[in-house]
Amino acid sequence: MNHWIIAPVILPALLAPIIAFVMRHDIVLARAASALGAVALAAIAVGLTILAMDGSTHVYYLGDWPAPFGIVLVLDRLSAMMVLLTSILALVVLWHMMATGRDQRGRHFHALFQFQLMGVCGAFLTGDAFNLFVFFEVLLIASYGLMIHGGGRVRMRAGLQYVVMNLAGSTLFLFALGALYAATGTLNMADLAEKVRAIPMEDAALVRVAAVLLLMVFAIKAALVPVHFWLPGTYSNAPAPVAALFAIMTKVGAYAIIRVYTLIFGPDVVATDGLITTLLVPAATLTLAVGAFGALAAKRFMPMLSFAVIGSMGTLTFAISGMTPEAMSAALYYMVHSTFAAAALFLLADLVTRRRGNDALTPQMETEKHGIFSALFFAGAIAMTGMPPLSGFFGKLLVLDAVRDTAWMTVAWVAILVGSLITIVGFARAGSILFWKARRNPNGDPDAQWVARSDRSPLNAQKLTSIFTMLFMMAMLVAAARPISVYMDAAAAQIFDVTSYIEAVLRPAGEVLK
């Protein structure tokens, strides 16, 4: 066994309590420990990605207990890519929080940040359905603490709505796991994949119920319509850098759909044949429509970005609905792009809204470095709406091409293209209000009321580094499109190679110890 596979879970799990109990009164030590942990996580993620590139499915057996009796962590191209994406995003967001001083606005930010990384990485690596539930709960607790970081009545109210929705999802998750265990006697994903395929159609009613319940749970995490209500309020009222970190949260739901509905309830499973496409295509259409019209109608900057995230999940869900290696490759590329695009815009929103004093889409006084903010918004809007030359354009082209031969191609193409147009109009409207219609004070001094509300700290390169890094990553997705597409194609092919996954995890006990 390769013990580095468990490192993305163990490292933040050890750091979080140390920071919380030993360094809580010393921000310098807390920052140092958290930064070192994030750098180490990124280095480990790079190493795991290199390891996964050999095409093998690497399994870590906790306590050397063989599957399906013990807990397993599974590393393949997909899980390695998601851990690497998480580590890059975490490092950038942490840099921004420290550069702007936002990590000092509330208590225990760095401890909660590490717990969040533990939950996300654990969800991507686990090979056990019950432990996926456990890591979802770790995510819920840590993300709630991060969401209300800094306090405030509005933030607490939005946080309550977020918790209630996700607790309902957790309850459904337990019901689904109970149904699966009753039908198969196991919760190990590889074992489930084997046993679900052996259940005859006439005895699979309980399995179909579990499949629908799980899809609803993952749809909540992915913020798909009609269970998306938690996202606009949560992302809009959370500190903007935390919302940038939450860009990976919806991808946890998308990852769970990909993993569970290719491995356990795959296209070759008779009991759930056609289920995923039948349910996901209407959800994708509605999600894209709600996201696009929400971005167009938003009266505040942060809600506009939140609805844009919902719209991007609609596009991603169309790709997932294809349930072919080609469609899944497009989904993986677009998933990486949309995470970087959302993070870049939320990090920019943090700087802009703090200098404006609010996030209302109304003309106000020009801010410091007004031209730089305008250019960054323009680049971020191009990326999020899918215009050339950044990766959003290539991502949407891949998605459109991947669903070209499906029965619902017309629905997907119309929804994606019209949704993109509406989102472009929404971003153009917001940009013109925020930057083009900004007022100049003839005396050169902002009015006193604006000064009282806004952040007047100097804008330096450190505060802009995180945004430029996200834009650079999207540019690299274009510049290195060929090797990245090759990796995505290989990852998609491996996702659908269920037999190899089962054989790698369900080894005889004698082969576990080497």
For residues 147 and 242, the answer to whether their CB atoms sit within 8 Å is: yes
Closest CA relative to residue 377, chosen from 413, 408, 349 = 349
Mean pLDDT of 182-206: 92
How many whole angstroms separate alpha carbon 292 and alpha carbon 429?
13
Bond before 200 cis per omega within 30 degrees: no
19-44: per-residue pLDDT in tens? 999 998 889 999 999 999 999 999 99
Q: What is the pLDDT of residue 369?
A: 66
Residues 432-453: tens digit of each pLDDT: 998 887 666 545 444 444 444 5
Q: Which is nearest to 412 in space by CA: 497, 347, 319, 350?
A: 319
pLDDT tens-digit readout, 232-242:
999 999 999 99
**Tens digit of each residue's pLDDT (9 = 90 or more) over 365-394:** 776 667 899 999 999 999 999 999 999 999
Closest C-alpha among 369, 364, 357 to residue 451: 357
Give the model's pLDDT for residue 514. 37
pLDDT mean over 394-423: 96
The answer, yes or no, to whether residue 154 has pLDDT greater than 70, is: yes
What confidence score (pLDDT) does residue 513 get? 39
Six-digit token pair at 357?
């004093």
Mean pLDDT of 476-489: 96
Residues 155-173 have a mean pLDDT of 90
7: confidence class by pLDDT, cuts 50, 70, 90? very high
- The pair of structure tokens assigned to 43 is 């280095």
Structure tokens given for 239: 């500190």
pLDDT the model gives residue 209: 93
What confidence category does residue 278 fall into, taking pLDDT thresholds of 50, 70 and 90? very high
| CA–centroid distance for 471 within its chain | 17
Looking at residue 218, what is its pLDDT? 96
pLDDT at 448: 44
CA distances from 502 to 59, 124, 189, 193, 264 (A): 11, 17, 9, 8, 10
Confidence of residue 146 (pLDDT cuts 50, 70, 90): very high
Please give the mean pLDDT across all residues of the chain: 91
* Whether residue 285 has pLDDT greater than 50: yes
Highest averaged pLDDT of the listed ranges 73-77, 153-157, 353-357: 73-77
Which whole number is the average pLDDT over 97-119?
Answer: 91
CB 147 within 8 A of CB 238: yes
Burial letters 294-323, b for 16+ CB under 10 A, else e: bbbebebbbbbbbbbbbbbbbbbbbbbbbb
The average pLDDT across 289-298 equals 96
Please give the model's pTM, rounded to 2 decimal places: 0.94
Q: Is the CB of residue 61 less than 8 Å from the CB of residue 1?
A: yes
Q: Is 103 exposed, middle or buried (0-12, 13-18, 19+ CB in 10 A)?
A: buried
- Percentage of the chain lying above the pLDDT 90 cut: 77
- Predicted confidence at residue 438, as pLDDT, reads 66
